[in-house]
Amino acid sequence: MLKLHEKSGDDTVALMADIGRRARAAARPLAIATTAAKNAALLAMADALLAREQDILDANAIDVSNGEESGLSASFMDRLKLNPARIRAMADGIREIAALRDPVGDVIAEWDRPNGLHIERVRTPLGVVGVIYESRPNVTADAGALCLKAGNPVILRGGSDSLNSSAAIHARLVDGLKAAGLPEDAIQLVPTTDRAAVGEMLKGLGGTLDVIIPRGGKSLVGRVQNEARVPVFAHLEGICHLYIDRSADLDMALKIAVNAKMRRTGVCGAAETLLVDRAVVSTHLVPILDALRAAGCEIHADAEVLKVFFDAKPATDADWVTEYLDAIIAVKLVDGIGGAIEHIETFSSHHTEAIIAEDAKAVERFFKEIDSAILLHNASTQFADGGEFGMGAEIGIATGKMHARGPVGVEQLTSFKYRVRGSGQVRP
Amino acid sequence: MLKLHEKSGDDTVALMADIGRRARAAARPLAIATTAAKNAALLAMADALLAREQDILDANAIDVSNGEESGLSASFMDRLKLNPARIRAMADGIREIAALRDPVGDVIAEWDRPNGLHIERVRTPLGVVGVIYESRPNVTADAGALCLKAGNPVILRGGSDSLNSSAAIHARLVDGLKAAGLPEDAIQLVPTTDRAAVGEMLKGLGGTLDVIIPRGGKSLVGRVQNEARVPVFAHLEGICHLYIDRSADLDMALKIAVNAKMRRTGVCGAAETLLVDRAVVSTHLVPILDALRAAGCEIHADAEVLKVFFDAKPATDADWVTEYLDAIIAVKLVDGIGGAIEHIETFSSHHTEAIIAEDAKAVERFFKEIDSAILLHNASTQFADGGEFGMGAEIGIATGKMHARGPVGVEQLTSFKYRVRGSGQVRP
């Protein structure tokens, strides 16, 4: 169905270099594009996705049929498969991005100097973004739209098994760009399944890529983090902790523990380890574990927990560093807030942690001494999400400390520059 | 005088790994240190530098004598040499950093969600900083103090030719840390001249270094930018442009052109290229060039400029991409604001550019369409400086678009995390 680039090696190097050059050339027109033009493009993309729904479903059917032949797993096939509802969700997502405030040009700080200079810090696009993702075709639409809103050209490298679907979606994004008079190269899809293309992106396409965002499982993210020669916005895993302090309200602790672990077990903000203050072992521990088990959760307990909650699996050292992404939780007793902080700072992936407490001092220590992207007090870890933060669409959650940390939304995809207004000032 | 680490190869790898581990271990106590403790350390450092002035001068005398024997250049020797005034300037610089506002813990944004969650974005230390610099011993004090203020452990790798001086200064910084009860490993100096130490830092010391800041000439910065596997805050060069629009006030243009080029020719914010609107060639060009020449500046002129200003050197293609850092300026006629933007976007190093104009529309196009870290209107490019921006001390100017852009002061050496306060919220 598609004319894909079938060759490899040197051809892919040349192909990727050309894609990089085109992206770089699109950066300037995109950076100065009006909000109206960007939004018109986004709305036209959403319309085009719906208008050409059947083409997308046809392309997806090829990927699905190939995937079935290659014996891909059921969960993989579920992510790959499109239907009219999923296409509508993509279109709706793009329309929500169109409705977001355009960050480019926002004055984020301004001040006057004694010599009369007026200084403004103004948001600008970040640059050329590379997105490397697995076989979720909808990332093509989400990532393309979010990068466009922030004025960034994007190079999309989707999973090989979804390339027909991604290409069909990408073609509709290009329809939108054309309709609004924006450069078609603003959103490019890498048209080859040759894995050398990923290697070229990780090298930065000769200084073209400003940031790479991997979307997918731990092996993909790990490879990108280890090998990329350009900055990466990502989290490798979310080993999120829920700590029940001696001052916790038991009802609240119960409700939040079940939600943090069980609402959705496969998201990065799901709690993986439950830490309970030794001071409330007799009152809080068993009811919370009972509630978790009643919700279908398997308990991996340390030796002390096992003494009072017999029906659990003994936890091993591996449990404290495992992101289950499943209905399993590791449980440990700690010596109050100090013990909780010590455990979390030792084992956390610095994504998201929550404390349930009524004692303000314990909360302040938790907030001050733990260095994770997101810390919550008396709320579920599952709020770790750009939408829940009110940022609108997000492209993921970052645990690095450079530039973007926590949810990466449209503002996090911008940089800034200084505008200085004078009236003839020279420096003495 | 000093017990330096004299071995190389594997020994240096082990030495650097140990330095990295120590820095990482210092990160947490430093992140939660109070502002009072950090400031007490800084003031004690300043006192110690003055109290042990003679030791520092003695150590410096060894470096100076070695440098004379090795035939180092006069400008190199000037940077290397210390005297009581320079030591006092270091101490004063540290006291100014103590007087700066502590950014750690600042709430930089906060908002409420409809479900009652209150979200705060709070500044945190950035992490472990590596500073690689040439033989300016004062960078030891400046960089050490600035990183401490932001709560970041720092690993300092100074030039081999100034190692005795840097070590004598570093010992006084450690005095200050001890006096305030802060970890001594918060500020470490690499105690070897083995160049393999730099290679280890560029590799990131096993994930320990969060950012590297090179301070020095183009070859050092270029090597760090090319080889570092961790983020870099730097500018390779400052090819700064001054554009004289048709709407410019001639007196202002004259005064700013001379200041931008000649106030100090060796700084990164010095103008290197003068662009003049073809529309005012008959009124503005010759007076400006006369003023520059009267101030001692050599003119490299394009063919059109040579037609009206005979006594200049013909510019070659190389002139548009040369950072002279000297009393030389390249001059070119352009077709108004559009021509100026085109030239700057093609040849600039995206550091600092200025426009002299009375026409607000030209200024807005300049501000919007040029993507450099600092843009100025009717002011000298020599204001490109953290102190002039009111940021206090700076560790340099960055032209990258990630995290820090423009002057890198104490705020740019921080990251942030989210604190979310709830009252029992769970995610539906």
Q: What pLDDT, in 10s, does the model give residues A252-294?
A: 999 999 999 999 999 999 999 999 999 999 999 999 999 999 9
Residue A117 corresponds to which tokens in the numbers above?
């200079």
**pLDDT at A173 (0 to 100):** 98
Q: Is the pLDDT of residue A2 over 60?
A: no
Give the lowest-confidence range in A8-22, A30-44, B50-64.
Answer: A8-22
| Strands across the sheet containing A154-157 | A187-189, A154-157, A128-133, A209-215
Q: Do B372 and A117 touch (CB under 8 A)?
A: no
Average pLDDT score over residue span A183-199: 96
Interface of A with B in 113-132 (CB under 8 A): 113, 117, 119, 122, 124, 126-127
**pLDDT at A406 (0 to 100):** 97
Helix B286-294 with B250-262: angle, nearest 10 deg:
40
Interchain CB contact of B421 with A (< 8 Å): yes
CA B2 to CA B107: how far, in whole Å? 44
Interchain CB contact of B425 with A (< 8 Å): yes
**pLDDT at A4 (0 to 100):** 52
Interchain CB contact of B406 with A (< 8 Å): yes
Q: How far is B189 from chain A (nearest CA, A)?
A: 24
Which among A255, A383, A401 has the least Cβ separation from residue B415? A401
The residue type found at B191 is: P
**pLDDT at A191 (0 to 100):** 95
Interface of A with B in 346-375 (CB under 8 A): 367-369, 371-375
Residue of A nearest to B367 (CA): A419
Q: Is the pLDDT of residue A110 over 80?
A: yes
Q: How far is B170 from chain A (nearest CA, A)?
A: 27
Which among A126, A374, A378 has the least Cβ separation from residue B401? A126
Using an 8 Å CB-CB cutoff, list chain A residues near B415. 401-402, 405
Which among B124, B210, B424 has the least Cβ separation from residue A255? B424
CA A310 to CA A307: how far, in whole Å? 6
The DSSP symbol for B205 reads T
Nearest CA to A106 out of A414, A420, A339, A409 is that of A414
> Which residue stretches of chain B have pLDDT < 70?
1-9
Domain map (residue ranges) of chain B: 10-233+408-418, 240-388
Q: How far is B252 from chain A (nearest CA, A)?
A: 6
CA A126 to CA A150: how far, in whole Å? 8
Contact B286, B299 (CB under 8 A): no
Cα dihedral A258→A263→A265→A268 (10° resolution) = -100
Interface of A with B in 28-87 (CB under 8 A): 28, 31-32
Cα angle value A24/A30/A36 (rounded, 5°): 170
**pLDDT at B9 (0 to 100):** 65
Complete DSSP assignment for B355-371: EE-S-HHHHHHHHHH--
What is the average pLDDT value for chain A, to the nearest integer?
95
Q: How far is A284 from chain B (nearest CA, A)?
A: 16
Burial class (CB in 10 A: 0-12, 13-18, 19+), B163: buried
Q: Do A379 and B424 touch (CB under 8 A)?
A: yes
Q: Report long-range pairs for A9-16 (Cβ below 8 Å, ≥24 apart).
A: A9/A194, A9/A196, A12/A192, A12/A194, A12/A196, A12/A197, A12/A200, A13/A196, A13/A200, A15/A190, A15/A191, A15/A192, A15/A197, A16/A190, A16/A197, A16/A200, A16/A201, A16/A205
Q: Do B117 and A420 touch (CB under 8 A)?
A: no
Nearest CA to B239 out of B149, B353, B160 is that of B353
Contact B418, B120 (CB under 8 A): yes
Nearest CA to A138 out of A99, A98, A108, A165 is that of A165
Helix B336-347 with B360-369: angle, nearest 10 deg:
20
Q: How far is A6 from chain B (nearest CA, A)?
A: 32
Q: Do A420 and B377 touch (CB under 8 A)?
A: yes
Interchain CB contact of B93 with A (< 8 Å): no
**pLDDT at B114 (0 to 100):** 97
**pLDDT at A266 (0 to 100):** 92
Encode pLDDT of A114-171 as tens digits.
999 999 999 999 999 999 999 889 999 999 999 999 999 999 999 999 999 999 999 9
β-bridge partners, A240: A271
Q: Do A422 and B229 touch (CB under 8 A)?
A: no
**pLDDT at B8 (0 to 100):** 57
Contact A280, A246 (CB under 8 A): yes
Encode pLDDT of A199-223 as tens digits.
999 999 999 999 999 998 899 999 9
Using an 8 Å CB-CB cutoff, list chain B residues near A34. none
Residue of B nearest to A371 (CA): B417
CA A49 to CA A43: how far, in whole Å? 10
Nearest CA to A254 out of A277, A209, A285, A300 is that of A285
Which among A117, A260, A378 has the least Cβ separation from residue B383? A117
Q: Is the pLDDT of residue A8 over 60?
A: no
Q: How far is A325 from chain B (nearest CA, A)?
A: 17
Contact B241, B346 (CB under 8 A): no
CA A215 to CA A235: how far, in whole Å? 9
Residue A19 corresponds to which tokens in the numbers above?
């894609």
Interchain CB contact of A383 with B (< 8 Å): yes
Q: Is the pLDDT of residue A353 over 90?
A: yes
Interchain CB contact of B230 with A (< 8 Å): no
Count of other CB atoms within 10 angstroms of residue B5: 15
**pLDDT at B4 (0 to 100):** 52
Residue A40 corresponds to which tokens in the numbers above?
């018109």
**pLDDT at B311 (0 to 100):** 86
Encode pLDDT of A294-312 as tens digits.
999 999 999 999 999 998 9
**pLDDT at B279 (0 to 100):** 98
CA A368 to CA A365: how far, in whole Å? 5
Q: Do B417 and A406 touch (CB under 8 A)?
A: yes
Q: Is the pLDDT of residue A3 over 80?
A: no
Which alpha helices (H) appear in A354-399, and where do they start and end? 360-369
Nearest CA to B90 out of B43, B58, B46 is that of B46
Contact B42, B92 (CB under 8 A): no
Q: Do A427 and B210 touch (CB under 8 A)?
A: no
CA B415 to CA A400: how far, in whole Å? 9
Average pLDDT score over residue span A343-353: 97
CA B339 to CA B336: how far, in whole Å? 5
Interface test with B, best of A108, A252, A371 (most B CBs within 10 A): A371
Q: How big is chain A, counted in residues?
A: 428
**pLDDT at B10 (0 to 100):** 75
Interface of B with A in 155-194 (CB under 8 A): none
Distances (CA, A) of A39 to A34, A48, A105, A147, A371: 9, 14, 15, 12, 37
Q: How far is B311 from chain A (nearest CA, A)?
A: 27
Please tell me the CATH code under which domain B10-233+408-418 is placed: 3.40.605.10
Nearest CA to A25 out of A186, A233, A171 is that of A186
CA A240 to CA B232: how far, in whole Å? 30
The fold of A240-388 is: Aldehyde Dehydrogenase; Chain A, domain 2 (3.40.309)
Using an 8 Å CB-CB cutoff, list chain B residues near A211. 402
3-state secondary structure (DSSP) of residue A369 = helix
The DSSP symbol for A403 reads S
Encode pLDDT of A400-424 as tens digits.
999 999 999 999 999 999 999 999 9
CA B319 to CA B299: how far, in whole Å? 11
Q: Is the pLDDT of residue A79 over 60?
A: yes
Q: How far is A423 from chain B (nearest CA, A)?
A: 5
